[in-house]
């Protein structure tokens, strides 16, 4: 899940192509993901090491468990709003531009991209969330945001629960950060990641995943 901070250009393995659904899905199946390279081109990344969050390794503190009970959580009810919040230009290191909003919005319409929305119970506002792409037992976490304490963590807790309940095997977070490491994320060598990916995308029929409804 790319966040603010320097990106290692050595993780770029290709530049160019488009963001059509077929291109994106083929890239994820090959262990690649896109980010803007300049105003006109797209870079395709394959980090080594690769950040993943083992589904049995999520660290939930007592304070986080309390936070989970403070919010309502929904799936796929505000995908565009979650992406726009993740791409807020006021956030340091923001990278989500209009092309990415449109491309992943289309993937969402097709059933491949999903969002988790964290809702303030008092006023019904969107205070946190994340989005990503699911292919069979694989989920590529793209970005997350919060406007209330622990809101992005709460989204991650619910994502992990959904993946566990629906046959998920691999949660890709792209690069680890201190924030993600505190929640249980680890680095694995690229070769090992590709082995895990191959197993996860062969774990179920190749159809768009249905996200959980409601909380």
Query: Residue 8: which pLDDT band, with cuts at 50, 70 and 90?
Result: low
Task: Give the percent of the chain with pLDDT over 70.
Answer: 90
Domain ranges of the chain: 48-201
Whether the pLDDT of residue 191 is over 90: the answer is yes
Does the global pTM surpass 0.75?
A: yes
Q: Which of 64-73, 119-128, 166-175, 203-212 has the lowest mean pLDDT?
A: 203-212
Residue 108's pLDDT is 98
Span 126-133, average pLDDT: 98
Q: What is the pLDDT of residue 4?
A: 44
| Cα separation, 12 vs 32, whole angstroms | 9
Non-local CB neighbours of 211 within 8 Å, separated by 6+ positions: 75, 76, 114, 162
Q: For 133-155, what is the mean pLDDT?
A: 97
Q: Which pairing describes strands 113-120 and 170-174: parallel, antiparallel, or unpaired?
A: unpaired
Quick one: what percent of the chain has pLDDT higher than 90?
A: 79
pLDDT of 29 strictly over 80: yes
pLDDT score at 5: 46
How confident is the prediction for the chain on average, in pLDDT? 91
Q: Note the pLDDT of residue 202.
A: 86
- Tell me the CATH number for domain 48-201: 3.40.630.70
Q: What average pLDDT does this structure show over 114-127?
A: 97
Is residue 100 predicted with pLDDT exceeding 90? yes
Average the pLDDT over 96-114 and give the result. Answer: 97
């Amino acid at each position: 899940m790319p966040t603010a901070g320097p990106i290692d250009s050595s993780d770029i393995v290709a530049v160019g192509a488009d963001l059509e659904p077929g291109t994106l899905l083929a890239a994820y199946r090959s262990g690649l993901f896109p980010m803007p390279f300049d105003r006109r081109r797209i870079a395709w990344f394959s980090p080594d090491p690769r950040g993943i969050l083992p589904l049995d390794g999520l660290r939930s503190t007592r304070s986080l468990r309390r936070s989970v009970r403070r919010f309502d959580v929904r799936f796929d009810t505000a995908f565009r709003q979650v992406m726009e919040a993740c791409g807020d230009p006021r956030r340091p290191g923001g990278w989500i531009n209009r092309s990415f909003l449109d491309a992943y919005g289309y993937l969402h319409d097709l059933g491949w991209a999903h969002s988790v929305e964290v809702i303030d119970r008092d006023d019904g506002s969107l205070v946190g969330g994340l989005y990503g792409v699911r292919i069979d037992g694989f989920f590529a976490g793209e970005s997350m945001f919060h406007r209330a304490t622990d809101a992005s963590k709460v989204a991650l807790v619910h994502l992990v629960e959904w993946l566990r309940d629906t046959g998920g095997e691999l949660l890709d977070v792209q690069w680890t950060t201190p924030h993600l490491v505190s929640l249980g994320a680890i680095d694995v060598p690229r070769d090992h990641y590709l082995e895990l990916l191959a197993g996860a995308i062969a774990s179920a029929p190749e159809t768009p995943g249905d996200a959980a409804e409601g909380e």
